[in-house]
Every structure is written in C-alpha cells, then in structure tokens.
Structure 1
C-alpha cells in the first residue's frame, strides 16, 4: 500500500484553507487529492497541467498521488483518501471484478467517469509481410505481454474485428511491452498491438516498415464483434502517428486514456463543478503536450468509456449540448451490466462461503462462476 502513496505535489498557497472557492459560478473545494499514473507518464503530465490550471483560475490546491499500478491508483479512491483519479483500462476491470479486482477484498467497483481523452490502439504488421488485414493474421506470430490485462484486451478486440481469437494466432509472449515492440522491430513476430505515437516505432518504420491493419467503422459486422469483446471501444480515424498522415489515416480502436474517474457516491454537484471548471480552464492547459487538446468537452465528454459516466458530469455535458440520447442508452446499458456483475458476485460469494472455498481458490472459483453467469 505504501508504494501507492508516493507523493507528487501540484500546489498553490491555500489562503483560508478549507473554504470553497467561487469563481465564474464554479464552486470547488479549497483542496483536492487526485491519483494518477507515475511521474513522467502522459497521464501524470496531463493531470499536472489540469491541476495547475485550477490553481491559476480558482486558487484550488490539488495534490497528486502517482502510482504505477491500477490498484495503487484505485485504492486511495476506495479508501476516500482521494476523490478523483486519472485512470486507464483498470476502471473497466474494476467494474467487472476482473484480474486484480477479482480478489475477495475488491470485487466489482462502483466507479464512474467524468471525462476521458480519446486515444487509439491498433495492430501493426511489417511491410515485409503479406498481411493486409486483421483476418490475415490467422496462424501468424502475434506479440503478447505477460500479465498485462489491458494489452490482452486490446489484442482480443482487434482480432475479433477480423473474426479471430487469440487461439487462431501463434502467441509469442514477452516479459514487457518494450520487449514486445523490440521483438517486432527485430522481425521476430508479425504483428503487435500499439498506439500510433509510440516513439520506438520510428525505428521499425526505418527498418522493416509499418503497416496499420485498418478496422473501418463502415464494417458493422466487424465492429459488432469488437463490442462483444469489449464495450469500451469505438471506431476512430487517426491522422497523426508513425506511418500515419492526413492522406493515409489509420482506422483503429478508439478508447479513453486517461479517464478522470471517481466513485458513484461522489457528490453530483462536486462532479458538475469540477467538469465545468476544467472546461472553463481549457485554454490554460490545452497546449501542455501534443494530445491534451483532446480533453475538450466535445471529444472527452461522450461514450463509450471504461465505466458509466457520473450523473454530475452528464448534467454539465447535457447543458453544453455534448451528451445525447445515444450516450444515455450506452450509459444505461453499462450500469445494467455493472448491476448484473454485482449480483453475480454476491451469489458467487454466498456459494463459495457455503462450500468453504479458500481465498487462494476464490479467483478461479469466481472466474468460472462469472463466465457461466454473465457470458
């Protein structure tokens, strides 16, 4: 738990500590605590820029508590030591009670999204292969990262677009993401899941070459399979990145990273005011890096996301004309899914207690029960 609380501080001198700050009809707490990815990560840079903007606009002090793990970012929120977090796909796993959140002391979490910056991920192959589409990967070598649920989910969803599963490809497992990308550069594997701006891909571009395996939104059957694999993805067209341009875009899996997250019981007014404050402070942080401009309300304030949106965020987004009936439908479906997972968890817990299933055996027990009850 200690590693989750390595402190990074973005602070202003707080006069009249503890009082709310009122500016332009926005009311914020005098101080807030946010969790984020590690120092140096994109998520930390963007959280820092937004915190600094709130300091300048409203005099609000934001303390960042960075962590390199999903549990480390989530635990302060669960224990009410932080209110908001800049999260990744761990919020999807948390809401589903999967992987590290399958532990008996976790289970499905009532997390909610405020905003999420659009990002993209897809599969690449080399120009030295004859692979032209995702479907062409059948029987080919694809890179995987050991014990990386997010990377696995990305790959499963992309393969589903081509009507494939992980069992249809030759899995080459690497100990880390960097090692997997280097394996692709060296020609050890045919394809890897990557984001468009990974700097190491420049080396591949100058060597074997890079070809993106497009997943166009016009392929409704392919996208039905993607959404059946994971609800967090939607079609997106990227025009910036390695071997990508305005003239030659890549049609990829759109998702959200980072995602500003809280728990469902956070005050609706507090969430509403924070989203409004970030919107009104946008000009102060929009140039902090090459992608942070996509935190504008139009891009960051719509579904899908890793978890349902918070009512306070929805209220502001609806006022701004961003949130619509389609977003409502997605959110209601996502909340219904979370309720189903919670019910399954409760039933599985009761059954496990009756059968005296040990804590060590619980994850496998829950995985089996969850698969039968929810899929």
Structure 2
C-alpha cells in the first residue's frame, strides 16, 4: 500500500511541471491566436526614428509571437496613409497627418479625401518648443511679437505647432515677421546664421546642439503648465498637445529642463473597422514586448504605455485598445471623456463633409478647399455651442 501511495505521489510530482508548462503554453497560445500571423505597417523613410522604432517593434513581435511584419516606408503623408485607407496596410507609424486626415486639413481637404475615420492604439510622447539664441533678450513667447520667426515651406506639421505656440501668448502670424525657409533643416540653422530670431523645433537636433555650444547659447521659451488660458488658446489651434517638462536636448538637463509642448510621433494609427480583438491583442503586445524594443532609439523608452496610451493624441482611441487599457488601469474617466469628445468632433466633421461634397463637384481643388474650410469652421462652432 505504501508503495502504491509512493508511486502515485511520484507521478503527481512528475506531472506538475508538465501541467504548469501546458498552462503557460495555453496562455501564450491564446495571445498568439489573437495576433495576426502577418501585418503590413507604414512608416517614415529609412533613417527616421519612426522607421527604426517600427522595425524594432516588428522584430519583437516576430520573436515573441512569430508574427511576420513588412514595413513600407514613405517620405510623404499620403504615401504613409493611403495604404491604410485602401486596406493594403494595417498600422501606420504616422506623424501629425493622423490629425490632419481626421480633420480634413491640408492634403486631406480635397474631394479625394476629407475627414477620415481613423483610430489610434498609442503614440510616443515627443517635445516641441520655441528656441532662440540666449543673447537676444527674448525671455518668453510674448516677447516674440515683432520678431523674425522661421517657418518651413510646405511643412504643415511644423507650421501648425509654431502657430499653436504663438497662440499660447495670444499671438498669430500677423503679430510676427514670418521668414519662410525651403526646408525644416534650414529653419533650425537660421538662428546660428542670424536669418531669424525664433525657430520652432524638437530639442535634440544637430543644429540646436551647435547653437547651444556656440558663444550665443540657446534658450527654450517656457510654456507654463499652470497658465490655463495660454494652454486653452494653444489647443484651440489643435486639440492634441499637452505640457511636458523636457530634460533631453540642446542646453537641457535634469537640472535645467524646459517647459515645452508634448505631441505624438509616431502615432500608431489604424482604420476604425480594425477588429476589436486584433486592436486589443496588438496593444497588449506593444505593452508586453516593451522591454525588447525600448532601447531602439534615444526616445523609445517613451513608448511606456502609461505615457503613450493616454490622451491627448491625434485621433480617437480604438475600442480594442481602450479595452486593454482599462484592464491594466491606465484608462480613467478623464481619458473616456476626452475620447468621447474627440469622437463627437470627428463625426461632426464627417457629417459636414458629406453635406458639401455634392456642392463642390464642379469646383477646382482650391475653390473646394475654401468651401470646405468655411463649412468646417461652422461645424466646429456648432459643436462648441452645444
């Protein structure tokens, strides 16, 4: 009898690791089953941080879940977004074109596009600010009035951010001397070359480091987080920015941070009709593989889900992503309120677009854009009045 009990005990002990292994494999398989076997992603060109980060995430998904990802790089907003709209790509690692596309702005203000029904999974936090040479005597955004401000030609993303920061101090382009440069790089070099007094840029570029190390030095103009009226004016330009204390970049450190404006890049953007379970599984995978890709670039640690998956952002969050964020306690009532308002805004603009499409059939692109701009402003005013 004792021998029989001993044999049963040994058998149970031997089976225990197998049972644990089976449970682990079942849990892992459940995650893997919800993940697509293949996906196509779009991103900025080779060499861009967004492409490097997309590649690192794709590698993590391949190693962890066996997913095969093909990345299609493009140097244009349309090139990154069109494959998603045409259902030839699943996720776009986008810039502010995610916002422009949902708003029907710039390239998307033509009869071919209009406000697009997009959703997001998350977006890495980045900072953007107004930089001046330290010897100019410019101490605040309000002091920029009447000064030469560098704007890049044909770069609505950078120009929008610069407009927003001017609005923080109650200014607009009419209150400054706009100096247009052919490229974004040229706007950053304009301070060292004394061709402009102010430039709007990210903090960690070569041109900004060169200015910081020159005899002139560099100063970032603070956007005080406690200035509620200033931030309200800033977000009237585009409701996707929030305050950030930035310690990385030219002239900055943990002991000397600047109070700047946070935006998202890349914004992981999908169609609204992505299956909820797929959006849930991908968002979960982004969180669970974070340790595998967080060192891909200097700012990749900012993919941490508590930073990257909360509003504000360029478009409404996908319900599948929200489900996972609620599960892990990242999503709260403020997030829900923001998302509902953002959906309401998107739906109002899409309805306004439908009203004018037939009216504009005979118009050229410029005339149609003017018609849409007027109707868009009316729709937003009507929404604000509700």
Output the TM-score relative to the length of structure 1.
Answer: 0.91
Give the alignment partner of residue 156 of structure 1, picking from 160, 163, 172.
Answer: 163
For residues 225-251 of structure 1, the C-alpha deviation after alignment (integer angstroms, 9 at most, x for no partner) is: 111111010011011111111111110
Matched, 1:166 2:181: no
Matched, 1:206 2:213: yes
Shift of 1:369: 2.8
Matched, 1:107 2:114: yes
SS in structure 2 of the partner of residue 23 of structure 1: helix
Shift of 1:311: 0.5
Matched, 1:264 2:269: no
Q: Is the 8 A contact 1:73 1:87 kept in 2?
A: yes
Q: Is the 8 A contact 1:112 1:308 kept in 2?
A: yes
Shift of 1:365: 2.3
Shift of 1:357: 2.5
Let me know the Cα RMSD of the aligned residues: 1.4
Q: Is the 8 A contact 2:101 2:108 kept in 1?
A: yes
For residues 196-247 of structure 1, the C-alpha deviation after alignment (integer angstroms, 9 at most, x for no partner) is: 1112211111222110000021111111111111101001101111111111
Deviates more, 1:24-33 or 1:253-262: 24-33
Q: Is the 8 A contact 2:209 2:249 kept in 1?
A: no
SS in structure 2 of the partner of residue 262 of structure 1: strand
**Unaligned stretches of 5+ in structure 1?**
1-20
SS in structure 2 of the partner of residue 25 of structure 1: helix
Shift of 1:315: 0.6
Matched, 1:30 2:37: yes
SS in structure 2 of the partner of residue 52 of structure 1: helix
CA–CA separation in structure 2 for the residues paired with 1:47 and 1:358:
38
Matched, 1:57 2:60: no
For residues 183-207 of structure 1, the C-alpha deviation after alignment (integer angstroms, 9 at most, x for no partner) is: 1121111100011111221111122
Give the alignment partner of residue 128 of structure 1, picking from 126, 132, 135.
Answer: 135
Matches for 1:307-346 after TM superposition, within 5 Å: 307-346=315-354
Q: Which residue of 1 aligns with 2:286?
A: 278
Shift of 1:95: 0.2
CA–CA separation in structure 2 for the residues paired with 1:373 and 1:279:
37
Q: Which residue of 1 aligns with 2:18?
A: none
Shift of 1:336: 0.6
Q: Which residue of 2 aligns with 1:82?
A: 89
CA–CA separation in structure 2 for the residues paired with 1:156 and 1:358:
28
Shift of 1:22: 7.8
Q: Is the 8 A contact 1:22 1:58 kept in 2?
A: no
Shift of 1:348: 1.5
Q: Which residue of 2 aligns with 1:364?
A: 370
Q: Which residue of 1 aligns with 2:380?
A: 374
Q: Is the 8 A contact 1:154 1:193 kept in 2?
A: yes
SS in structure 2 of the partner of residue 256 of structure 1: strand
Shift of 1:333: 0.7
Shift of 1:350: 3.0
Distance 1:24 1:122, change over 3 A: farther
In terms of fraction of residues, the more helix-rich structure is 2
CA–CA separation in structure 1 for the residues paired with 2:275 and 2:331:
20
**Unaligned stretches of 5+ in structure 2?**
1-25, 382-386
Shift of 1:286: 1.1
Distance 1:110 1:119, change over 3 A: same
Shift of 1:24: 5.6
CA–CA separation in structure 2 for the residues paired with 1:68 and 1:312:
29
Q: What number of residue pairs does the alignment pair up?
A: 353
CA–CA separation in structure 1 for the residues paired with 2:224 and 2:366:
43
CA–CA separation in structure 1 for the residues paired with 2:378 and 2:328:
42
Q: Which residue of 2 aligns with 1:243?
A: 251
